[in-house]
Amino acid sequence: MWKSFEDAFYLNFIEDDRWKYLTNGLGVTLKITFFAVLIGILLGFTVAIVRNTYQNTGKLKVANAICSLYLTIIRGTPVVVQLMIVYFVIFGSVRIDKSITAILAFGINSGAYQAEIFRSGIQSIPRGQFEAGRSLGFSYHQTMLKIIMPQAIKNVIPTLCNEFITLLKETSVAGYIALEDLTKGGDIIRSRTYSAFMPLIAVALIYLVMVVILEKVVRLIERRLKQNER
C-alpha cells in the first residue's frame, strides 16, 4: 500500500521534475489573479463612481449608459466564454502573451462584480455624512473624495479580499486558452502519467490551502478595521 503510494508520488511529481508543472502553474495562477484584481479595482471603482454620480447629479449620462451595458454583458455571460472571446476574437490576429490576455479577461470580468461592491459600499454611508460635508462648504467632488470614499473603501476591503479569493478559483478555466496555470499544470501531469488521482488531488489541496489561509487573513483585516474608529 505505502509502496504503491510512494511509486505514484514519484511518478507524478519527482520523475522528470513534474512538480514544476505545479509550482510554475501556481505562479501563473497567482500572477493572473493578482493583476486581474488590480484591473478589476480600477474598472470597478470607475464604474461605481460614474453610476453613483449619475444617480446623484444626473451628470455623465453617456458614460453611465456605457457602464450599464458593460455590467449587463459581463454579468450575463460565462467567464470562460469571455476569456475565449478576448483570446480568440479580440486578440485573435495579434500575438500577445497568453497571461496578459487572461489578466485582461479576468480583470474586465472582475471589474463588473467589484463595481457593485464599490457601489453598495458608497451607498452604505449614511446621507448625513454627505450633508455634513456639503454644509461645511465642500463641493460634491470634495465631499465624495474626503468624506464618503475613505469610509466606503474601508467598508468594502473585506468584500474585495473575498473577490480575490473567488477569482483565484475562477482563473482555473485559463486552460481553455492553453495557459499553463495551476489547474492546467495538474492536468498536464495527468496526461503524462495517466494517473488522475495524485495530480488532481494535489491541485485541489493547493487551492484549498491558499483559500483557507486567505480567508484567515481577511478575517484578521476585518477585525483590525473594526478595532480603530467606529
Q: Which of 66, 75, 150, 208 binds another protein (CB under 8 A)?
A: 150
| Other C-beta atoms lying within 10 Å of the C-beta of residue 213 | 10
Assess 135 for contact with another protein (CB under 8 A). yes
Contact 36, 111 (CB under 8 A): no
> Binders of another protein: how many residues, by CB under 8 A?
21
Assess 223 for contact with another protein (CB under 8 A). no
Assess 154 for contact with another protein (CB under 8 A). yes
Assess 123 for contact with another protein (CB under 8 A). no
Q: Which of 66, 100, 132, 205 binds another protein (CB under 8 A)?
A: 132
Burial state string for 59-93 with b = 16 or more CB within 10 A and e = fewer than 16: ebeebbeebeebbeebeeeebeebbbebbeeebee
In the chain, count H helices and then E strands. 10, 0
Least distance (Å) between residue 46 CB and another protein: 22
Least distance (Å) between residue 140 CB and another protein: 9
Question: Is the dihedral angle over the CA atoms 16, 20, 25, 26 positive or is it negative?
Answer: positive
Least distance (Å) between residue 139 CB and another protein: 5
Closer Cβ to another protein, 148 or 198, answer by number:
148
CA distances to 23, 27, 93, 182, 214 from 155, rounded to whole Å, are: 34, 30, 43, 32, 18
Could you say which residues in the range 70-109 bind another protein, by CB under 8 A? none
Least distance (Å) between residue 222 CB and another protein: 16
SS3 92: coil
If you search the block for the grid coordinates 500575438, which residue do you land on? 95
Q: Which of 139, 197, 209, 215 binds another protein (CB under 8 A)?
A: 139
Assess 136 for contact with another protein (CB under 8 A). yes
Closest of 104, 112, 107 to residue 51, by C-alpha: 112
Question: Is the dihedral angle over the CA atoms 194, 196, 201, 204 positive or is it negative?
Answer: positive
Interface stretch with another protein, choices 61-69, 75-83, 125-133, 156-164 (CB under 8 A): 125-133
Interface stretch with another protein, choices 4-12, 126-134, 175-183, 192-200 (CB under 8 A): 126-134
Assess 147 for contact with another protein (CB under 8 A). yes
Closest of 127, 108, 105, 161 to residue 56, by C-alpha: 127
Provide the binding-site residues for another protein, judged by CB under 8 A: 126, 128-129, 131-139, 142, 146-147, 150-151, 154, 228-230
